[in-house]
Chain A
């Protein structure tokens, strides 16, 4: 009994059926492997910029292949040609396949073009758990074109119990929706002051977000690759997220959206570990093309 392996042999890698992508390995196996990747690259460089560049290169190779794989498997060989489409592909499809969950993405400004009509309503979805079909029916009846799930929520910020802001992209337009629950008359002055200050802050930050039209961010509380990594003090702002930035760049560039993608630590107040932000800055030509396409 020599040949007990179950793997079928194919003369050519292309003949092999494409896996469904449901197979998994343990997180530790990946962490060990990634740690070797980092350690090996550390021996090949003498500064951090170089190290990040090498990790990014490794990621780029992964990104290029993931794009091909996912376009083939999930998209029926179609690939996104528009900026928002590809961004949505990155943060939903790619993120979900690679890291098991989709991710909100914050955008820089997207110019407001043309006119369109939008109905705004709110609906308590919590009580409709497990009744998504009914929900869809109601939404269709009321001509609601956006509902949680189907469109691109690019940022969700929950400031406190009373304030929440979400950013949506619908048909090329960016909407900032701030939901505020104002303190009622009987409440303490202090509470009211707090509320107004917070609201001011939210309003300010919305404006700041539109300064760079070509910049987009994916923010991750604990990036998978950074889970088991602690950066020695002497390595400064080195971020292993460079690998993920490379993946993103690989996907974008091979889809025809050249961009500079970088990973940064962003300290979070009251938390020991900083979050990682992947900053995407598209090349000028991409934005020019987008503008022409309208």
Chain B
């Protein structure tokens, strides 16, 4: 079955307005540093980053749907592919490889081929527990939730923590049936 969705976000990325990735990287760095100063606990920072990402995700999905022309995905496999090839490309200019599927087809890994968030970054000893890119997992979780998928998104491997790749695990928890918001017009 040939999928009809665009398999690559290249064209979209080429057409949207873009900014220098270094401005983005350094701004993100400034945010993380601010959080570390304010919240002190690394765990709290992880949580806050995830929350920020979630906030972004629930807004970003609108732009994604509007610009990408992606229609409903037939299954979670397709969803993961679309995130890896269209979504990441469209916003961050990067792509990922989808791999490590489990038997049920509900868990997979995105392995990032590049990561603009971590340029110039090294974790000091005091921040070893920090999931520096946690904002990204939040974004994916938030965006998927808006299209009726409850997911758990976690970093399995993180090069800042000494691993050999950036691996983001997506786990589909449940598909939330769409409900018509009857109460809207009361």
Where the two chains meet, the residues of A that have a C-beta atom closer than 8 Å to any C-beta of B are: 1-7, 9, 12-13, 19, 21, 23-30, 32-37, 39-41, 44, 54, 57-59, 61-62, 65-66, 69, 97-100, 224
A143 to B135, CA, bound (A): 57
Let me know if B77 is at the binding interface, CB within 8 A. Answer: no
Let me know if B127 is at the binding interface, CB within 8 A. Answer: no
- Identify whether the interface residues of B are mostly helix, strand, loop, or mixed: helix
Nearest CB to that of A31 among chain B residues? B19
Listed from nearest, the 8 A-B pairs whose CB atoms lie closest are A5-B165, A13-B122, A23-B21, A27-B17, A24-B18, A58-B30, A29-B91, A62-B26
* Interfacial chain A residues near B29, Cβ < 8 Å: 61-62, 65
Q: How many A-B residue pairs have CB under 8 A?
A: 146
Q: Decide: B119 and A24 in contact? CB cutoff 8 A.
A: no
Q: Decide: B19 and A36 in contact? CB cutoff 8 A.
A: no
Q: Decide: A28 and B63 in contact? CB cutoff 8 A.
A: yes
Q: Decide: B120 and A7 in contact? CB cutoff 8 A.
A: no
Q: Decide: B20 and A7 in contact? CB cutoff 8 A.
A: no
Q: Decide: B31 and A25 in contact? CB cutoff 8 A.
A: no
Given the interface pairs A25-B18, A26-B18, the reply to whether A33 lies near B116 with Cβ below 8 Å is no
* Interfacial chain B residues near A1, Cβ < 8 Å: 99
* Interfacial chain A residues near B154, Cβ < 8 Å: none
Least distance between B47 CB and chain A CB atoms (Å):
12
Interface range for B: 35 or more
Let me know if B128 is at the binding interface, CB within 8 A. Answer: no
Interface centre among A21, A33, A66, A99 (most CB of B within 10 A): A33
Least distance between B59 CB and chain A CB atoms (Å):
7
Q: Decide: B17 and A66 in contact? CB cutoff 8 A.
A: no
Q: Decide: B97 and A5 in contact? CB cutoff 8 A.
A: yes
A111 to B90, CA, bound (A): 50
Nearest CB to that of B53 among chain A residues? A36
Q: Decide: B21 and A5 in contact? CB cutoff 8 A.
A: no
A29 to B97, CA, bound (A): 21
Nearest CB to that of B91 among chain A residues? A29
A58 to B35, CA, bound (A): 11
Out of A3, A5, A12, A97, which one reaches B22, CB within 8 Å? A97
Out of B17, B35, B113, B120, which one reaches A26, CB within 8 Å? B17
Q: Decide: B114 and A62 in contact? CB cutoff 8 A.
A: no
Q: Decide: B31 and A9 in contact? CB cutoff 8 A.
A: no
Given the interface pairs A25-B18, A27-B16, A36-B56, the reply to whether A59 lies near B63 with Cβ below 8 Å is no
